A = this chain, B = another copy of it.
Amino acid sequence: MPRRTLENAMQTKKKILETAQRLFSRRGFERTSLSDIAKGAGCTRGAIYWHFENKEELLMSLLESLEQEQFGMEFLNDACDPNSYNPLSKLKKWLSALCDEKNIALLNSTLISMVIMIFNGGSNPELKEMMQERRIQKNELIAKALKNIVSKGQLPSDLIIDLAVEHLCVFIVGTFHRSRVTNTNVLKNNFPLFIELEFKAIRELTEEKLRTNSLP
């Protein structure tokens, strides 16, 4: 039963995207055939090719939608704003958003695992590079936020920014991946606590570094 109106066409496209997301996440890009997607979306392979150039473009379309689903990025941007009154709290809010219900749901049920897989699998070098670049940009944003926080006196003025960024990244990445695989709620329930500890650690970073270095 062919759909002919614009409305129906949009629905078809949406269904294809949804199915692709579901299947790519579940089985991975390679192991998902366009046949599978077509079957799942209730249309033919041909219909997919009407809406998308090819399989890769379908993936790219999916990834673009990821961009817009990023939670809490406004908080990170706020933390970089020199006019912000309390950038530290903004940064903490951003970290909190990483572990809230909605984000965890995103992590577990959607594109993320696909993205990780694509990134880890050697699949698409261009895609990989694109992601690498995005990571670097985010690191720079974090550095900027930290500098801003230091300038507001909320973190020690002798903070070694690179080190702090790295420590924060380890914490973020760890939280991210741990959230995906753990089956307890320990992390989720204690995330505010962990955040506090994280900033305590950052605050003591320089001092601790001096102490460590002075050891034999």
* Interfacial residues, chain A to chain B (CB-CB below 8 A): 26-28, 30-31, 113, 116-117, 120-123, 132, 135, 162-163, 165-167, 169-175, 177-178, 181-182, 184, 186-187, 190, 192-194, 196-198, 200-201, 204-205, 208-209, 212
Give Cα A172–Cα B120 distance, bound, in whole angstroms.
19
Give Cα A181–Cα B200 distance, bound, in whole angstroms.
26
Return chain B residues, CB-CB under 8 Å to A135: 181
Instruction: Decide if A123 touches B175 in the complex (CB within 8 Å).
Output: no
Shortest beta-carbon distance, A115 to chain B, in Å?
Answer: 9
A-B pairs, 3 with minimum CB distance: A174-B174, A28-B121, A30-B30
Give Cα A92–Cα B193 distance, bound, in whole angstroms.
23
Of the residues B31, B162, B169, B190, contact of A122 by C-beta under 8 Å = B31
From A26, which residue of chain B is reached at the shortest CB distance?
B122
SS class, residues of chain A in contact with chain B: helix
From A215, which residue of chain B is reached at the shortest CB distance?
B192
Instruction: Decide if A177 touches B173 in the complex (CB within 8 Å).
Output: yes
From A113, which residue of chain B is reached at the shortest CB distance?
B120
Of the residues B173, B196, B204, contact of A200 by C-beta under 8 Å = B204
Return chain B residues, CB-CB under 8 Å to A182: 166, 169
Of the residues B28, B163, B174, B201, contact of A190 by C-beta under 8 Å = B163
Return chain B residues, CB-CB under 8 Å to A117: 117, 120-121
From A168, which residue of chain B is reached at the shortest CB distance?
B174
Shortest beta-carbon distance, A132 to chain B, in Å?
Answer: 8
